[in-house]
Structure 1
Amino acid sequence: MSETESAAAAERKPRRLRGHKKGAVTCCVASSARPGVIASSGEDGCLCWFDLRAKDVLLTIEAANKPISSICFKPGNEDFVYASAGNEIFSFDVRMGPQSKPLETYNYNRDEINQIAVTSKGFLAAADDSGDVKIVNTIQKCLYKRLREAHTSICSSVQFIPWRPWTAITGGLDSKLAAWDFSKGRTLFSIDYGSPELQNGSSSGSTGQCFNPAFVHSVAVSEEGILGGLYKVCAVARGDGAVDVVDLEYELAPARSKGPPRATTSTVSSKGTELGDGRSNQIQVKRIHLDYTMGGHTAAVSCVAFSAFGEKGKFLVSGGNDASVKIWDWSKGFSSETNSNAELVLDIDVKKKVNWLCTTPTDSDNLIVCDTSKVVKVYDFR
């Protein structure tokens, strides 16, 4: 996106996708096999399918009699979708149409589920309010592992790491990010964003944010091979308005050597002196910190996603409670070049708090936003 295109996109009104009956749209996911196909879930308990080439909703399934918190496609067969509602997980075959009934139901979680994720090998992860993550084997239809004791509060997010088949990463409202070997049920590393070292090392101490804890609200893991295979990272949406990007291979290195987990207590701000005073050629940046000083969020960041359009993964998209969506050219922050910083390339005022977002390419680059309304918004960067 050029600067002209960015400015035009910021002023452009979004296309509105209607299908949910009431309440907020809670989640959206984009099909990787069929560009332009979007699934969304809502507080009305419905799942909706949209094709951006069509005007109206393609399919609506009344999936649950309670709000749906999270959805995900089954990798390799996106006719199947998983949805969580309350402490249960349901799977549906969209080919069965509006009258589709759950094919499978899992209720291993004791508390309300906040996010689910699934692998191509059939492992399903569910993070819940107790702080636990349950790993379900959907092929054998049984509980595989219980991941616990890393989080002391609500576990808000979970994702699998695609290039490490037995590794998952979780975030919680205890301000912790944890990576797991879920085959053994043990943590590989943990970062505490609430620790004094990290709080003092970041620049997110603005007047509006100094009292907001660095809760982890969302985690996004990059796909394997993005940007020429140079980066294997995850992005972290924080309650203090900041977004962190973490080099996962660096953090996981101690685990490969079978040594004790390394205490992680330092961070490098992409706006800090480490990257801007000529010393960056001697510093190997392993984390970048995107906050209000760079034009970032002024309230909690609710979600993050790596872009699927253009050069895949080039942009990081974040949405927040400040009713804005930010698009970052993030990889510059990992560059060893002097004065090469991550930068904000687009700021969109979406008018309402953002619950979730995703991206998909069709004839144009599309950003899909779920906010506190019942309408899914699509921003088109043609």
Structure 2
Amino acid sequence: MAKLWCEGHSTAILCVCASPGPEGLVASGSEGGEVAIWSQEGCVVGRLNLLGEEDCTSVGFSPAAPGILYASHGDTVSVLDPRNLKGAVKEFANVGEEEINALALNESGSTLALADDSGTVRILELPEGKACRTLRRHTNICSSVAFRPHRPNNLLSAGLDMQVMLWGLQKARPLWTLNLQDIAEEEDDHQQRPGQLFNPPLAHCVSVASCGNIVACAADDGRVHLMRVGGGSKLEQQGALKAHCHGASQAHFVPFLSHPYWLASGGNDGRVALWDVSKHPVVTLEGKAKIKGAAAPYRKGKSKAKRKGVEAREEHEADVGVTEKSGPEVNINHGDKVNWLCPALLKGTASLLVADQSSSLTVYPLAEP
């Protein structure tokens, strides 16, 4: 049964994060620069208004030191002590060229990545906050960044230019770039019907499974795009889940279930879903030839031309790994547009924290199927 966490904010919550560990705290940020700290029972244990009162767009606990919380607002990152939330311990001012949309920390907590409205990704060395890399390749807003586990010099970024990039930080250049628009146009050629419209696949949120090899990206076409990173950090395969009937705003792997390929998604359609992608072709590495070799199902009563169209579309979807027949294991009608989604272990129970257009957090306990 869902629980509602209230009284932490007076404005819409924009971001949420959970500290690792059995007794970890939860942090949330909202419009107007409000930051709240919650216990695992949903009690507010701290509240702060950041200086400047710009929206708090992203929060993240240090993996190495749960007593350090980073919060982005405007072009600034504030360093906070969640157990003593009286003010910023330190501020990294003007580290974004424009408003920062997302931040991410590497596994050791020694590096902080920032994505901003200019499309720039900036890398800061911690604890000093000194900028050591500036990555410029996105041509529109950069909306999300995520470090690749076990590969501290690999960083994923995604943006409203419909690009997903894997960066090699040593040389500060992309190792590869995937253009989601090219994929969407290819699929639309096979699927579009008269009068049918498709949202462009603006990339909103990127996440990497704990194995470090599977990437998920929520996009405005309603899909969660999946990518497999192979040897030499090469893009080995890509595919997608037809996850939402409107834009998909959030996609996060859930690291504490039975395997690393449980994926949670949230969308503008007000739905929250939990997917088991362990058997998806991108994860299982089923080759394209093997998928294409499967016989297309016969549709009784359809003309030969229509059957050919259906077969071509199904063959193409299998070829690119687009999946809609196997739905989510858990499908929740949340009822409001999802701003942020955060997997968390709360008192030993796997849960999803959901922020929407309201000033409250909704907590959904997960009973693994």
* Aligned partner letter, 1:185: A
Gaps of 5+ in 1: 1-11, 225-230, 254-263, 265-284
Structure 2: any 5+ residue segments left out of the alignment? 295-317
Amino acid in the other structure paired with 1:30? A
Q: Choose which of 155, 174, 185 in structure 1 pairs with 2:161.
A: 174
> Does structure 2 conserve the Cα–Cα contact (< 8 Å) formed by 1:20 and 1:42?
no
1:367 is matched with 352
State the secondary structure of the residue aligned to 2:186: helix
Residues of 2 paired with 1:185 and 1:309: CA distance? 32
Structure 2: which amino acid aligns with 1:219?
A: V
Task: Give runs of aligned pairs for residues 184-333 of structure 1, distance below 5 A.
Answer: 184-195=171-182, 197-201=183-187, 210-224=197-211, 232-249=213-230, 252-253=233-234, 286-291=237-242, 296-333=243-280
Contact 1:240 1:299 in 2 (8 A): yes
Percent sequence identity is: 30
Measure the CA separation in 2 of the matches of 1:251 and 1:58.
45
Is the Cα–Cα contact under 8 Å of residues 125 and 133 in structure 1 kept in the other structure?
yes
Counterparts of 1:62 and 1:371, CA distance in 2: 20
Q: Which has the larger radius of gyration?
A: 2
Which 10-residue stretch deviates more, 83-92 or 202-211? Answer: 202-211
Contact 1:353/1:372 (8 A) holds in 2: yes
Matched to 1:220, the amino acid is S
Moved more, 56-65 or 372-381: 56-65
Cα contact 1:330–1:343 (8 A) shared by 2: no
Change beyond 3 A, Cα 1:68–1:312: farther
For 1:360, the aligned partner's letter is A
Deviation per CA, 1:298-320, whole angstroms, max 9, x where unpaired?
A: 11111111113421533111000
Per-residue Cα deviation, 1:108-140 (whole angstroms, up to 9, x for no partner): 212111101122252111111111111111234
SS of aligned partner of 2:43:
coil
Partners of 2:349 and 2:195 in 1: CA distance: 36
User: Which residue in 2 is equivalent to 1:31?
Assistant: 19
In the TM superposition, what whole-angstrom CA distance separates every residue of 1:67-122 from its partner, at most 9, and x where no partner exists? 10001111210110101001111111123x23133323232212111101122252
Q: Which residue of 1 aligns with 2:113?
A: 125
The Cα of 1:250 is off from its aligned counterpart by 5.8
For residues 199 and 205 of structure 1, the distance between their equivalents in structure 2, rounded to whole angstroms, comes to 10
* Aligned equivalents of 1:376, 1:121: Cα separation in 2: 27
TM-score where L is the length of structure 2: 0.81
Contact conserved, 1:233 with 1:249, CA < 8 A, in 2? no
Q: Relative to structure 1, is the Cα distance of residues 153 and 140 closer, same or farther in structure 2, using a 3 angstrom cutoff?
A: same
Aligned CA RMSD, in angstroms, stands at 2.5
- Listed one character per residue, the Cα deviations across residues 342-366 of structure 1 (whole Å, up to 9, x for unaligned) are 5411111111100011112234221
1:110/1:55 CA distance change after superposition, 3 Å: closer
Q: 1:193 to 1:35 in 2, by over 3 A?
A: farther
Equivalent residue, structure 2, for 1:139: 127
Secondary structure at 1:165 match in 2:
strand
Aligned-partner residue type, residue 185 of structure 2 = Q
Q: Distance in 2 between matches of 1:325 and 1:318?
A: 6
Q: Distance in 2 between matches of 1:204 and 1:83?
A: 42
